[in-house]
Homo-oligomer: A and B are copies of this chain.
Amino acid sequence: MESIGEQNGWIRKVWPDLKPPSLSDNTADVDRLIKGLKKALHTENVTVDFSLAGKVSASLRRWNHHVGASVYEEHDGWHLIDISGPPDEQAIHGVALDLGSSTLVLRLIDLETGKRIDETSFHNPQIEIGADILTRIHFATREGGLSRLQEMTIDRLNQEVEMLSRKHGTGLESVVGMSVAGNTTMTHLFLGLDPYWICREPYIPVVNRPGLIPSCELGLNINRGAPVLVSPNVGSYFGGDLIAGILASGMNQQSDISFLVDVGTNAEVVVGNREWLMACAGAAGPALEGGIADMGMMAGPGVIDRVAIDPVTGEFRIGTIQDPGDAKAPQGQRPVGICGSGLIDLAAQLFLAGMIDLRGKFVEAACGDRLEEMDGTRHLVVVPARDSGTGSPLTLSQTDMDGLIRSKAAMYTILTTIANTVNISFSEIGHFY
C-alpha cells in the first residue's frame, strides 16, 4: 500500500509548463491549464471541475502561470484536485483509514514519497450507540439516527486529521486524497447510506462500489477537491476491509496459494492466488474479545495482550497494552481484562504448562490453588484481585475455555472445508495472512 502515493500513483502533484496568454494565443485560463496538464501527464483526458474555474483563473494570474496542480486519475482520465502557487512547496498528503467497528486507525502519508508520516488509532465513536453492529443498524432506523452515526465518525476523523496535521505542520489543504476500508456496514454508516437491508435476507447493500467521492460531500475537513477512495465490497458480509486486505497482502499477485483470515465477530477467509480467489464469510461464534470470555474485552490500555507462564515456577507474566499518552506507566497499567491475542497466548501457555489438557479442560494437579469454584463452575485465576486494575480477580472459567476451543475448532473447520472445496491440502499453502 506504500506505493499508492509515489509519483507513479493515482494522486500526484505536477508542474505544468504554461505560457502566458497573448493576442496570438487567447486560450482561456482553464483550457490553458488543461492543455498544460495533458502534456505533463501524457494523456488526452483532463477535466477541471467547474467549482475550481474561478480559483484556476485567479491562481494563474497571481503566480504568473507558474503553478502546481494536484491531480488524481480515474479510469476515464485525470482530474484536477487543487491548484497552488510555486512558493507552496509543501508535499501533498493522503490519509488512509482502517474503519473498524471497534477501532479506527488513521495514517498520514506523504504522497510524493509514499512514506508513512504518522499514525493514530482510537475507538470507533459509534460505540457510544452500541458496541455491536446490529445495535447501530437498528439505531440508524430512528429519526436522524443514520446521520447521527455518520456525524460521530466524521467529526472525530476531522479532529484526528487536524491533530496529525498540526503535529507535523502539514496544512489540511495539503491532504488531497483519502482511502477508506471497512466492512460493508461500517462503510455504509461512514457514507450515510442506510444499512437496513444489509442484515436482512437476501442481505443487499445499497452500493458495492462507491468509487471516488469528493471529500466535501462527506463533510471531511481536508482539501475539498480531494477524492475519497472507498474500498468496494462484494456483499453484506464481504467488505472493503477484506478487499483492502487482499491488496495489502499481495496474495492476488502471487503464484503460490495463500490463506487470508480475518476473525472477529465474523470470520472471513480468502484463499487463492493470482489466478483465482475464493472467499467465505460467516459468524465465527463470539470468537474472542468481549464475546468469549467474562474478562474478555476490546484491545486498549490496561488490557492483557501477552501472557507467559514460567515452566518451572508456574509464575504468570502478564503484559498489558500501554496507554500511549501515559508515559508514567512504562511497565503497562494494571490489567483490567484480556483481548483476543492475549486469550490465545494464555491458552497456548496453559497447554504448554500442562495446566489444560488436549480437550482444554483444567488439570487440577497443575493449576493448584489458582483454580477456584465460582458460580458452580471452575475458574482459573489469571490475575488475583490485589494485582488487578478492577479490584476483582481476572479469571478464565472452564466455560470460557470451552468457548475458545469451539471457536478454534470452528475456524479449523472453515479452513478445512475451504481447502477441501478447492481441493488443496494445508501443506500447499504458501502464505498465511
Interface residues of A (CB under 8 A from B): 21-23, 25-31, 45, 47, 50-51, 53-54, 56-58, 61, 76-77, 191-194, 197, 201-211, 213, 217, 233, 235-236
CB pair B50 A206 closer than 8 Å: no
A205: B residues at CB distance < 8 A: 28-29
CB pair A211 B50 closer than 8 Å: yes
- A50 vs B230: C-alpha distance when bound (angstroms): 11
* Most chain B CB within a 10 A radius of its CB, from A201, A203, A206, A217: A206
- A135 vs B213: C-alpha distance when bound (angstroms): 41
Q: Which residue of chain B lies nearest to A50 when distances are taken between CB atoms in the complex?
A: B213
- A36 vs B404: C-alpha distance when bound (angstroms): 46
A192: B residues at CB distance < 8 A: 54
Q: Pick from B193, B204, B235: contact of A54, CB below 8 A.
A: B193
Ordered by A's residue number, 21 sampled pairs between the chains whose C-beta atoms are within 8 Å are A21-B202, A26-B204, A26-B236, A28-B204, A28-B208, A29-B204, A29-B207, A30-B208, A31-B208, A47-B211, A50-B191, A50-B210, A50-B211, A50-B213, A53-B193, A53-B207, A54-B193, A56-B206, A57-B194, A57-B197, A57-B206
A213: B residues at CB distance < 8 A: 50
CB pair A208 B57 closer than 8 Å: no
- A45 vs B211: C-alpha distance when bound (angstroms): 14
Known interface pairs A50-B211, A76-B76. Does A201 touch B23 (Cβ–Cβ under 8 Å)?
yes
CB pair A54 B201 closer than 8 Å: no
CB pair B235 A50 closer than 8 Å: no
For the complex with contacts A23-B203, A28-B205, 18 further pairs of A-B residues with Cβ separation under 8 Å are A21-B202, A22-B202, A27-B204, A27-B208, A28-B206, A28-B233, A29-B205, A30-B206, A31-B207, A31-B208, A31-B209, A50-B191, A50-B213, A51-B217, A54-B192, A54-B193, A54-B206, A57-B197
